[in-house]
């Protein structure tokens, strides 16, 4: 049986943001979010698969109680850029009406997928709806969308690590790096 997965050659990855810098920024975001949600219990919605590492580290440092749920969407398929067509693969289990909702995502790129998600969730009448992204790549933006909480602004490179992947590889890297993708 042939294995069609890419070689996990980590020597291809160039460090963009070190593991220490990522950990420091996640702590700072957790402090800010905890202060903003003091006295409330937000529902934290992770967008799978990219957000899970960031989300896990973030929520463990929050000082407010939280509920957690996940939404899986697809807009990339096997490509390295978004098709702009968003498909909900796995929807939330928790109701949103009247709740404070914080969406957590690894990267804000074209904005197409996150704009769709935020509009989709807004229809469920949450009390508040905010967006937290680890990375923002404004050079790729196609629609107007701004995160309420931002980890890092990154250059127009194909980023991997700390949840972000290339063909499902490199998610487990403790830092944010980039690779050169042929044809990109």
DSSP letter at 161? B
For 67, the token pair is 């509920």
Sign of CA dihedral 130, 150, 92, 120: positive
- Per DSSP, the three-state class of 79 is coil
Of 118, 134, 176, give the one whose Cα is nearest residue 28.
134
Per-residue pLDDT at 10: 65
- Per DSSP, the three-state class of 85 is coil
CA distances in angstroms from 76 to 37, 54, 129, listed in the order given: 33, 20, 24
* pLDDT-derived band at 167, boundaries 50, 70, 90: confident
Task: Report the alpha-carbon distance of residue 166 to residue 161 in Å, rounded.
Answer: 9
Q: Which pLDDT tens digit goes with each residue over 102-154? A: 999 999 999 999 999 999 999 999 999 999 999 999 998 999 999 999 999 99
Per-residue pLDDT at 89: 85
Question: pTM, whole model, 2 decimals?
Answer: 0.88
Task: Report the alpha-carbon distance of residue 176 to residue 153 in Å, rounded.
Answer: 12
Per-residue pLDDT at 77: 53
Q: Which pLDDT tens digit goes with each residue over 31-83? A: 999 999 999 999 999 999 999 999 999 999 999 999 999 999 887 555 455 55
Evaluate whether 181 touches 23 at the Cβ level (below 8 Å): no
Fold of 19-156: Rossmann fold (3.40.50)
Per-residue pLDDT at 88: 85
Rounded to an integer, the average pLDDT of 93-108 is 96
Per-residue pLDDT at 87: 82
Sign of CA dihedral 62, 64, 67, 70: negative
Do you know the residue count of the chain? 184
Q: From the CB of residue 24, how many other CB atoms can be counted at a distance below 10 Å?
A: 11
Domains of the chain by residue range: 19-156
Supply angle C-alpha 105, 106, 111, rounded to 5: 70
Rounded to an integer, the average pLDDT of 20-33 is 98
Per-residue pLDDT at 168: 87
Active site residues: 109
On the question of pLDDT at 1 being above 50, the answer is no
Per-residue pLDDT at 86: 80
Per-residue pLDDT at 183: 61
The interaxial angle of helices 52-61 and 19-36, nearest 10 deg, is 60
């Amino acid at each position: 049986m042939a294995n069609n997965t890419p070689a996990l050659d980590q020597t291809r990855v160039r460090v963009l943001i070190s593991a220490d810098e990522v950990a420091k920024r996640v702590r700072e975001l957790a402090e800010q979010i905890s202060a903003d949600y003091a006295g409330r219990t937000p529902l934290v919605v992770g967008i799978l698969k990219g957000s899970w590492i960031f989300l896990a580290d973030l929520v463990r440092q929050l000082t407010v109680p939280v509920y957690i749920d996940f939404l899986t969407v697809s807009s990339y398929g096997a490509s390295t850029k978004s098709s702009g067509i968003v498909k909900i693969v796995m929807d939330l289990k928790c109701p949103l009406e009247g709740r404070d909702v914080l969406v957590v995502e690894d990267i804000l790129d074209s904005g197409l997928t996150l704009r769709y998600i935020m509009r989709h969730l807004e229809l469920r009448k949450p009390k508040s709806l905010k967006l937290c992204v680890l990375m923002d790549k404004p050079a790729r933006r196609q629609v107007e969308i701004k995160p309420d909480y931002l980890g890092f602004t990154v250059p127009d490179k194909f980023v991997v690590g700390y949840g972000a992947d290339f063909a499902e590889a490199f998610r487990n890297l403790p830092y944010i790096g980039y690779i050169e993708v042929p044809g990109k």
